[in-house]
A = this chain, B = another copy of it.
Amino acid sequence: MDIAIVGLGLIGGSLLRALTAAGHHVTGYDADPTTRDQASAAGFPVAGSVPTAISGTDLTILAVPLPALPGVLDEMTDYDGLVTDVTSVKRPVRDLAHRLRRFVGGHPMAGKETSGFAATEATLFDGCAWVLTLEPHETDLSDWLTLARLFTTLGARVVPTTAAEHDRAVAEVSHVPHLFAAALALQLEGNPLAGTLAAGSFRDGTRVAATRAELIVAMCGGNKAEVSNALSRLIGDLEQMRRHLESEDLTPTVRRAGDLRRAWPAKSGHIRELTPTVDALLDLGRNGGWVTAISDNGEVEAAGN
């Protein structure tokens, strides 16, 4: 395929490497000239503007932060290729993307503590979950399958889900855990004895508190409603645990949590063929499954529950 990638940070730059290695013709662009120079110096074709980068391509991947998306979309008004993105919230992007002819929202659950083009790796997506949003009566199924095929060839497990279900799930398992980590870390304020006694449970429970504050606030702020709901539910659970400390009733709750944690992550389970309808795909995602491959003749292979 002829592909443009707008934004060459950790995700966009790694995609530039991975898709080029997979035999596609990929052109990159980044608003930052230094990043463009780095990508160029690494041997990749780099354009000097969004219109130049996307001109004549079949697919454009938007790998810029959410606040930068409206500006990029302004430069794509005439584009008739397929468009996807990689941002960590999907409802706001869905709203913005109504301006595009063909769009499927995406979110690769890949990352690491470092960022920028210098941190990019062609293998970043191997084994990661990659959400591709599928909205009944809105997303074109054949566009969805094109992207599912492309990203499964990079080793990703492609998860079909709606933007709304995605945003709720990531609030629970990704955004709120960053706020929990921050709350635990804040206990060290003026409390050096606690810092000395802190060991493994503190180290792991607070690791992501060291993520750049701007990233945490952008993730949570971009998904405000769901983060707020998830926080409310969890605050209720913590209040119940606090009451149960008194009544000695904590054991079943803690045991259930341990069982759930030990069963995670789910095994791939039975690999099977799936008839690619919107309903069948959304059911697969809701049940914790994913697409592992799409064959040349369009057969969909699915795994997990």
A residues contacting B by CB (< 8 A) are: 109-111, 128-129, 131, 157, 159, 161, 165-166, 169-170, 172-174, 176-189, 191-202, 204-214, 216-217, 220-221, 224, 227-228, 230-235, 237-239, 241-242, 245-246, 248, 250-251, 253-258, 260-266, 285-290, 304-305
Contact = CB atoms under 8 A, between A and B. Distances in A.
A231 B239 CA distance: 8
Contacts of A254: 178-179, 182, 209, 213, 216-217
Contact of A194 (B173, B192, B233, B263): B173
Sort A-B residue pairs by CB-CB distance and give the 4 closest, nearest first: A192-B288, A182-B257, A173-B198, A213-B255
A172 B173 CA distance: 22
A211 B174 CA distance: 21
A188 B260 contact: yes
A96 B132 CA distance: 60
Given A193-B286, A245-B228, A198 B174 contact: yes
Contact of A159 (B178, B197, B207): B197
B177 A220 contact: no
28 contacts: A157-B196, A159-B196, A170-B197, A172-B191, A176-B184, A178-B254, A179-B238, A180-B180, A181-B205, A183-B237, A184-B234, A185-B260, A186-B256, A187-B230, A187-B234, A195-B266, A204-B204, A206-B261, A210-B262, A213-B251, A213-B254, A217-B251, A220-B250, A221-B245, A224-B245, A228-B245, A231-B238, A234-B238
Contacts of A173: 184, 187-188, 194-195, 197-199, 201-202
Contacts of A159: 193, 196-197
Nearest to A305: B192
Contact of A192 (B111, B181, B183, B286): B286
Nearest to A252: B213
A189 B253 CA distance: 11
A180 B176 CA distance: 11
A192 B250 contact: no
Given A185-B257, A205-B181, A221 B198 contact: no
Given A214-B251, A260-B188, A204 B208 contact: yes
Given A192-B305, A195-B266, 15 more contacts: A111-B200, A173-B187, A177-B205, A180-B183, A181-B261, A188-B264, A195-B265, A196-B265, A196-B266, A196-B304, A204-B205, A210-B262, A217-B251, A224-B246, A228-B242
Contacts of A266: 192, 195-196
Contacts of A220: 245, 250
Contacts of A185: 257-258, 260-261, 264
A255 B215 CA distance: 10
